[in-house]
């Protein structure tokens, strides 16, 4: 894992240098936190709290600026799951987004599932003569753990109206 992390940091360092930017210690600490927690979809505040362990003198504004720079350089993507909190995840440079998210409305857990929309995208592009470069899909519901918890507690999860 440490070798993959070092390789990814080296790739990002090259991207920064290509933009005539440096991999400062603060940027490196922020990147390390993001790389070590890729599956977590961390918010800026969560990144900040984890970065403080690596770089105690770093400020929240520096983390925000670093995250926005990484978004601008298309190294990471800023995601909004409808709860007013921006979260971040790595994206492959110049590649379309290849997964979707399952968002638990009870505990807030975010899980990833593979992209199932390739055929639909091609159909839309052909039918509407529209070049799709990316898409985002989030499914809202209740994770297995929250469903089990409500069964054992004898409570019910709120239902969502469905037009069917």
In angstroms, the CA 82 to CA 80 distance is 6
Instruction: With beta carbons less than 8 A apart as the criterion, state whether 33 and 42 touch.
Output: yes
- Closest to 54 (Cα-Cα) out of 76, 34, 75, 78: 34
| Residue 41 is assigned to a ligand binding site | no
φ, ψ for residue 59, nearest 5 deg: -105, 160
Task: For the chain, list the strands marked E by DSSP.
Answer: 76-80, 86-90, 99-104, 110-114, 138-141
In angstroms, the CA 52 to CA 30 distance is 9
| Residue 101 is assigned to a ligand binding site | no
| Residue 146 is assigned to a ligand binding site | yes
Instruction: With beta carbons less than 8 A apart as the criterion, state whether 93 and 70 touch.
Output: no
Q: What is the DSSP letter of 157?
A: P
Per the annotation, binding residues are 98, 104, 107, 135, 143, 146
Per the annotation, binding residues for Fe cation are 98, 135
Per the annotation, binding residues for Zn(2+) are 104, 107, 143, 146
């Amino acid at each position: 894992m440490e070798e993959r992390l070092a390789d990814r940091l080296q790739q990002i360092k090259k991207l920064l240098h290509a933009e005539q930017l440096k991999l400062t210690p603060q940027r490196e600490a922020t990147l390390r936190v993001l790389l070590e927690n890729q599956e977590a979809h961390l918010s800026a505040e969560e990144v900040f709290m984890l970065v403080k362990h690596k770089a105690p003198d770093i400020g929240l504004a520096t983390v925000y600026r670093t995250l926005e720079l990484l978004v601008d350089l298309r190294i990471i993507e800023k995601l909004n799951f409808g709860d007013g909190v921006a979260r971040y995840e790595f994206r492959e440079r110049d590649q379309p987004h290849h997964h979707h998210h399952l968002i638990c409305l009870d505990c807030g857990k975010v899980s990833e599932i593979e992209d199932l929309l390739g055929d639909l995208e091609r159909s839309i592009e052909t039918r509407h003569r529209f070049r799709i470069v990316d898409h985002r899909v989030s499914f809202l519901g209740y994770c297995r753990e929250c469903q089990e918890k409500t069964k054992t507690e004898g409570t019910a999860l709120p239902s969502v109206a469905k037009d069917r």
